[in-house]
Structure 1
């Protein structure tokens, strides 16, 4: 049963039925990097689709399928591209905001959160897209309807799956991806390579569900697809065949045989028609490339001059009604998106589930930090308050702060997954950069605090730092601020460079730089002025190191040994003791600036998060 009952209380999107979706003159032009000349990715594409139809967008690799799909969905076609042409809904030009509300887009890659169950995936899709006026009962009914409609009700409580924990199959993931986009009952659904990575059986299964969905709910579905099997190909109502960015055919799948027979390219019996069509419109891998190009050009010309092409263009033109001077007229929209607080709350809830289920997010990091704590505590074991241990104390402080920060690189893969989910959901108009960044920041705080406490309980007391409760909790505070700043750096860098290797390398490099200018390897009093004034004062590790040094040495004394030869001269020399303030003076640290350093650290964290927000806000998907 594929009827999603998108009416009355279930109708959450627009209160006007989309009878048809058409476009004409769609052209995308970019500047060629080598020749510096303009080049068309797609050229003068026209089409017309009716409600309930399933359309295949086919063509050889590089023909412009994804570009056309993005243009139809009002997404960025390509970097620096110039887009021409018009599209119509019910003969009207619709503004982008209204159009975004009536369509959904399913990416080629399943940007699903693997640590959520199938039902939770749909639940959070509902929480992020449906207004508060939709009751919890209505949401659950809708989710159950989708689970039943896509045949995944038996997998409702199964995890989607992570690299560590096995989940549902590839075909089931595609169905979950499509189902999650149907929560708001979109009128137009775009599928980018929905059968990518699936075998022929799974591909047929996914497209069969899409076919039933389109017919039962009068949804227009446009899917880019590469080399479907014969049975899968026959599921489609219409075919738009592209080659080198131009139309080779657009019309009913049932008319493909007769059309290509009429233009001199009959489809052989017992041949997969999709494979045959892709072969005759491809010139890249043909042994005789010039002849192949001539054949493709002849097919494109035949379509441009055909009666079917002329009739379709006339139909689109006749139906188009430009009713205002701007040429845009939005369909009436009765859907109110959830407010920022509701969206942030839903993202927090989802991130919390992901954080405690997905060991990659924080589980592995907790184990890593515990291992570091044990190593540090046993290497710097039971240091004594005597002068020969002053340098080991300083070394332990540097190691504890610097390497805790450095190991934050382990957060890169977890944030990349979150960022990919954000990119998909933002492109579908669910929310912007602000709720994502706020929820990402807040959800990390309790986990980072737990890590700070666990690390400190082991390393602090084993190493025998200043044995007071106040000193211990001050140490925990510095470790916590250190981790928050390090994670904020990861967010900032990864927001700009969403590539695992690049982000990892840049974060590691930045931490190496902070270690070099932080004040331990070279004291701030003798640090090269360039590094001091350009980098030292924006180095969060420097303030953590200063704070820990003051916490250890400001209120502690150290014995000068049996011979009473003190390494530092203080007012306690006659007692064969060294006042810890002397160590701080050597580094140029004052003991009364803790509040200032905390404030600076919070400022650095805020700047990292702000820059990360700006990077996500300015990036277009």
Structure 2
């Protein structure tokens, strides 16, 4: 390559050299002006800045330093642009013929420079010595190669954050050249080696269609992104690129903005712009600052984080980078390369360390560019306006992340996890305390009851609250220790109500009177602990054997410290005593499963209460429904028990045969809530004979007493004799029995005879014998007794706040109940097997129905339909919780009333054995099968979120059904209520109606629907991350799943975790409601 130097005249007022030739001036750095670079000549907008022939000193301030440098202090080199060089080269003149002309031109130029130097006052024609490199390639001469740039050995390396790979620079998009100092035009879709390059300071004159910006990196239209084949492929296959102009960045975005900073423009006037390269995948950013299209410096920001926040309704996307690395490009105006203001920013820019932030509000073209190290110069940051951002991405990439902020856990989720952790910690503390209580109880000395107790009742009355009906009217009596008291009367006479009150059972009406235990007034809880109560109906666990049922009662009601072998000995003893040894290992059964006989069930019910050796045993109709032989056997066992002096027996009996009747020690005959007779059983006939009611011969005296109680005329006739014989002589039963001294009457007369006081139902004779006398008129009405009527709780309560004390610990109660529930679940496999089988079959059915749904419009409908259908199946299958709980509800009420355990262990055990095997496991089975058959998202995180939503939803619906089952006693009503509520929740679940189109008056209903939160969470988790590609009538389209979710369903794309939290809230709410209803409502009320 041949070169030659020449001196050309430079006229500040002129704009051409040799006609219209445009030249470039290369300035070499020296000690005074340590910068270099290439500048066009004549300067830009010369016509506006100077007049022809005006001196350089008269030019505007921004031009003067440049011209002064050229004319006075520098030896610039002159080079032409390609077009100008072509003009200078035409016609092609051989080198030997052009040398004289060039020499003459150099002499003239040198002479003009000397004249100018000698006449400093005259600068009309200024000349400068310039060295022009003219390239001439003779015909047929081979070109000379320029040495290749080696970035590994060059101090400056690769500019603009390019990567040095070996000896060659790999430039970032938008930059080119051997050292990445040039601008690349065209578009980023073009191969980097094919992009045209221009020098910094000119900018790209043209970009490919659909692209813009300083270096043509910013896409403008989707068509521009589709103009050339993409350099990468989509995971969905054939997919066209689109231009994403939003602040959310998905692959690699570029931004070009104008910078408005008065602080900077005051020192360095001009047009500023900033280009930014955003790479969220590698979490990096790079930026370049431009002044009049000339790059001033570039920066690199690694380890950046992206977050989207909302403040005062304004959504902003913010990039935060803790590290900042900037490099000033010399010579540039900001870096001190060209004479100008005294201030130089080069050292400051090179020393920047960060932090750095870029904030762009959505829907705005303004952004804020803030550098912490420059806060002193720019306290408000660099204001960026007219921002143009764009990136060519696949639609699937846009939808693969709803927003980058969701990669970090929302604050609500963090709060929930913190609460969950706190609950777990509290649970651990509670379990530790429970374990400690268990240890304490296991070391507490214990004793079992060995003596019977007496029970006395005076003027017991009971009135219903609703209609004020008086059921009991001042009934009095006593059961001395070790006797058998039979309460007889026709149906509706008030027998069951009386024994309920004597046993301390809770009644809905008003109870009045006095009850004394061993002659003392005690709290009703004391009475309940002393009394074993056998209800009229046998409420037994059908899946347990006789031995297991009795052992269950023993494990919960015998002392914690009692050794386990002693417990089993006591169980065997009771079973043998009641004649149940032959059937001890047979299941009890129920109406659907054959088990033991009715008489054996009655004896099992008695065994459950005898296991604790209660001082008093009260039985309501123990022979009801039994044949005569079984009834005789039951009563005989009870009489033997009373004869052992360890238990006092009080029972109601409807119509005993004669041999059973005479087994009773005492009898109380009740009619219409009044006592007709109370005394020894063998004197009842004589008592009514004295009143003109003689029992016919060969007639069962028990039947005759019932005839009297049922016939009001006979009752009236018997009453007509009252007050005649008794007023004169009194009625003495003639039956005397030794009783403990603590049940003697507190109102005995001095001579041992009865004087008609209605409260004096017992007294002792002089020889210490116990006698009873009950005139008819005394027990006829509580109002005529003359004694004050006192509410029973007020009489027997010594400490109103006294709570029931259980002999076993919480952990023991929970363990025993869970063991029984497990036995029930295993032995009655129908419910468990049905749930599992149905879940598997339905999973296969749904998977087959929606098998491998494509990513098209029809596929979207099928995906959404499959998700909603699964929720519907799980929701309605939860109604089975009603029947399961109804079977255990009655058993729980009976066991709670008899002091087996409190509500809490029952609630926990019920939830564990209903939710885990019947709700959670079937949900997982169906979800796992259907998920992969349908072809839902293969992302592992999405799959586990899907399962979690199904489990939370199914548990919530099951808990809702349990709440209804606990609140509503009738199974049919509860089932109807659950079905109707489920249907309404489905209607407002978001699939059948757009949530945004619901009338305002009914909008609130959707927020009560568990289907809404479950379906929205499933849809956002699955469909929002997909792209629907379809072709309708030859028209291809790409529709984001998120767009359909928003427009068609009105879903919140960022509401996944919100819906999860709401479902968790539903679960917590229903569990708390279930526990509250069980504790407060499921009590025995009679």
Assess same fold via TM > 0.5. Answer: yes
Higher mean displacement: 18-27 or 465-474: 465-474
Separation of aligned partners in 1, 2:677 and 2:593: 45
CA deviations on 1:329-375 (whole Å, 9 max, x unpaired) are 79xx9986212232222222222222222246534433444444444
Matched, 1:24 2:458: yes
Separation of aligned partners in 2, 1:327 and 1:113: 34
| Paired residues for 1:425-464 under 5 Å | 425-447=895-917, 448-464=919-935
Matched, 1:532 2:1003: yes
Query: 1:510 corresponds to which residue?
Result: 981
TM-score of the pair, normalised by structure 1? 0.86
Query: 2:494 corresponds to which residue?
Result: 64
Contact 1:106 1:192 in 2 (8 A): yes
| Paired residues for 1:54-93 under 5 Å | 54-77=484-507, 79=508, 81-93=509-521
Matched, 1:614 2:1076: yes
TM-superposed deviation, 1:199: 2.3
CA deviations on 1:67-100 (whole Å, 9 max, x unpaired) are 11111111123x2x22111111221112112222
The structure 2 residue matched to 1:604, chosen from 1045, 1066, 1074, is 1066
Matched, 1:365 2:835: yes
CA deviations on 1:22-72 (whole Å, 9 max, x unpaired) are 111111123563xxxx43210111111122222222211111111111111
| Paired residues for 1:312-351 under 5 Å | 314=760, 316=762, 337-351=807-821
Secondary structure at the aligned position of 2:960 is classed as: helix
TM-superposed deviation, 1:178: 1.2
Contact 2:708 2:715 in 1 (8 A): no
Matched, 1:243 2:689: no
Query: 1:147 corresponds to which residue?
Result: 575
Contact 1:58 1:65 in 2 (8 A): yes
TM-superposed deviation, 1:424: 0.8
CA deviations on 1:560-599 (whole Å, 9 max, x unpaired) are 1464646xxxxxx4xxx43322232232323443333222
Number of residue-to-residue matches in the alignment: 583
The structure 1 residue matched to 2:1050, chosen from 569, 584, 588, is 588
Matched, 1:43 2:473: yes
Contact 1:53 1:214 in 2 (8 A): yes
TM-superposed deviation, 1:401: 0.4
Query: 2:889 corresponds to which residue?
Result: 419
Query: 1:198 corresponds to which residue?
Result: 626
Matched, 1:52 2:482: yes
Separation of aligned partners in 1, 2:725 and 2:1043: 87
CA deviations on 1:175-219 (whole Å, 9 max, x unpaired) are 111111222221111112222222222222222222222222521
Q: CA 1:610–1:334 in 2, change beyond 3 Å: closer, same or farther?
A: closer
CA deviations on 1:149-195 (whole Å, 9 max, x unpaired) are 11212322211114443211111111111111222221111112222
TM-score of the pair, normalised by structure 2? 0.50
TM-superposed deviation, 1:242: 0.5
Query: 2:55 corresponds to which residue?
Result: none
Secondary structure at the aligned position of 1:560 is classed as: strand
TM-superposed deviation, 1:398: 1.5
Secondary structure at the aligned position of 2:485 is classed as: strand
Separation of aligned partners in 1, 2:1063 and 2:724: 68
Q: CA RMSD in A?
A: 3.0
Contact 1:356 1:363 in 2 (8 A): no
Higher mean displacement: 198-207 or 65-74: 198-207
The structure 1 residue matched to 2:688, chosen from 251, 260, 279, is 260
Separation of aligned partners in 1, 2:887 and 2:459: 37
Query: 2:970 corresponds to which residue?
Result: 499
Q: CA 1:384–1:299 in 2, change beyond 3 Å: closer, same or farther?
A: farther
Separation of aligned partners in 1, 2:1066 and 2:684: 62
Q: CA 1:26–1:299 in 2, change beyond 3 Å: closer, same or farther?
A: farther
Separation of aligned partners in 2, 1:374 and 1:601: 26
Query: 2:523 corresponds to which residue?
Result: 95
Contact 1:241 1:250 in 2 (8 A): yes
Secondary structure at the aligned position of 1:307 is classed as: coil
Separation of aligned partners in 1, 2:681 and 2:834: 52
Matched, 1:226 2:654: yes
Query: 1:385 corresponds to which residue?
Result: 855
Gaps of 5+ in 1: 1-8, 284-289, 320-324, 567-572
Query: 1:322 corresponds to which residue?
Result: none
Q: CA 1:280–1:326 in 2, change beyond 3 Å: closer, same or farther?
A: closer
Separation of aligned partners in 2, 1:90 and 1:329: 15
Contact 2:514 2:796 in 1 (8 A): no
Separation of aligned partners in 1, 2:930 and 2:724: 77
Higher mean displacement: 584-593 or 173-182: 584-593
Query: 1:129 corresponds to which residue?
Result: 557
Matched, 1:211 2:639: yes
Contact 1:186 1:219 in 2 (8 A): yes
TM-superposed deviation, 1:455: 2.1
Q: CA 1:548–1:67 in 2, change beyond 3 Å: closer, same or farther?
A: same
Larger RCO (CA within 8 A; separation ≥ 6): 1
Secondary structure at the aligned position of 2:610 is classed as: coil
Query: 1:4 corresponds to which residue?
Result: none
The structure 2 residue matched to 1:279, chosen from 693, 707, 720, is 707
Contact 1:10 1:138 in 2 (8 A): no
Higher mean displacement: 93-102 or 263-272: 263-272
Contact 1:248 1:299 in 2 (8 A): no
Matched, 1:186 2:656: no
Contact 1:108 1:193 in 2 (8 A): yes
Matched, 1:484 2:906: no
Query: 1:287 corresponds to which residue?
Result: none
Matched, 1:578 2:1039: yes
Secondary structure at the aligned position of 2:692 is classed as: coil
Gaps of 5+ in 2: 1-443, 734-753, 765-769, 771-793
Query: 1:5 corresponds to which residue?
Result: none
Secondary structure at the aligned position of 2:1039 is classed as: strand
Higher mean displacement: 334-343 or 398-407: 334-343
Secondary structure at the aligned position of 1:538 is classed as: coil
Contact 1:26 1:45 in 2 (8 A): yes
TM-superposed deviation, 1:492: 1.0
Q: CA 1:171–1:490 in 2, change beyond 3 Å: closer, same or farther?
A: same
Greater helix share, 1 or 2? Answer: 1
TM-superposed deviation, 1:107: 1.6
Query: 1:294 corresponds to which residue?
Result: 716
Secondary structure at the aligned position of 2:475 is classed as: strand
Higher mean displacement: 607-616 or 185-194: 607-616
Separation of aligned partners in 2, 1:583 and 1:531: 24
Contact 2:514 2:795 in 1 (8 A): no
